[in-house]
Amino acid sequence: MINRYSKIIYPVGFILFALIITKCNLQKVVDPIDFETRIIPGQSIEGIRLGEYHEMIEERLGPKKLHGFADGLRSWTVFTWPGTVYSGLGVYFVEMGYGEYGPADYIEVETPYDGTTYEGIGIGTHMRDVHRAWGEPELLNDNSPYSIGYTYCFEGTRFYLNFRDSLVHFIRMGPFIPYPEDSTCTEN
C-alpha cells in the first residue's frame, strides 16, 4: 500500500516543487506588478523628471540638503537626501543667481543608491549586463585608466553610465536644457 502511494506522491511532489521554484524566479525577473523600478531611462529617477523645480521634488522626497555647486558649460546647485532611502541621489538645478534655482538639469545616482531599471541595471551592475540589455552605446568615453563611460539615448535624453573596474560607478541623466553644440541624443 505504501509503495502504491509513493509512486504517486513523489512525482506530484516533484512537479509541485518545480512549479513553485519556476513561479518564484519568474516573478523576480519579469513580473511588473511585483517589481519596483526606480530608474526609468529617459523619463525619471525616483519619480523625478528633468525640468522639475526643487519645491516639487522636496514635497515628494522630503527636506533636501545642499551638497555643493558644480560648474561646466553652466553652473548648478546640487541637492542630496543623505540618511534617507534616497541616499546617493543628487539633483543638479540650474543656478540662476541670487539664491534662485532653475529646473532640474541633471539627476545622478551613486553608492549607496540601490534603485535599478526594469532590466536590473543600477550601481554595481557589470558592463556586460548593461551591454546585453541595451546593446552598443551611442557614445563611448574612454577615460582610461580610471573609468569608461557609456552614453545611451532614451527618448532624446542622455543616459550616462560611468564604469570603474567594469562595474557601474554612477549614473547620470540629462541635461534638461540641451547644449547647442551637442547633438548626441537629438532626434531628427
6 and 74 part of one domain: no
pLDDT, position 180: 83
68 and 23 part of one domain: no
95 and 156 part of one domain: yes
112 and 153 part of one domain: yes
Q: Could you tell me if residue 160 is inside a domain? A: yes
pLDDT, position 5: 57
Which residues, 6 or more positions from 112, have their beta carbon under 8 angstroms from its beta carbon? 87, 88, 123
| 30-78 pLDDT, tens digit each | 334 435 679 999 999 999 999 999 999 999 999 999 888 888 888 999 9
**Domains contained in the chain, number:** 2
Q: Could you tell me if residue 100 is inside a domain? A: yes
pLDDT, position 32: 43
Question: How many whole angstroms separate alpha carbon 73 and alpha carbon 181?
Answer: 11
pLDDT, position 57: 94
Q: Could you tell me if residue 180 is inside a domain? A: no
Please list the pLDDT of the chain residue by residue as tens digits (188 residues). 556 655 666 555 555 555 444 444 333 233 344 356 799 999 999 999 999 999 999 999 999 998 888 888 889 999 999 999 999 999 999 998 888 899 999 999 999 999 999 999 999 999 999 999 999 999 998 877 788 999 999 998 999 999 999 999 999 999 998 888 877 887 65
**Domain hosting residue 159, numbered range:** 39-173
Q: Could you tell me if residue 184 is inside a domain? A: no
Query: What's the predicted TM-score (pTM) here?
Result: 0.78
Closest residue by Cα to residue 116 from 37, 17, 13, 52: 37
Question: How many whole angstroms separate alpha carbon 149 and alpha carbon 161?
Answer: 6
CATH number at residue 165: 2.60.460
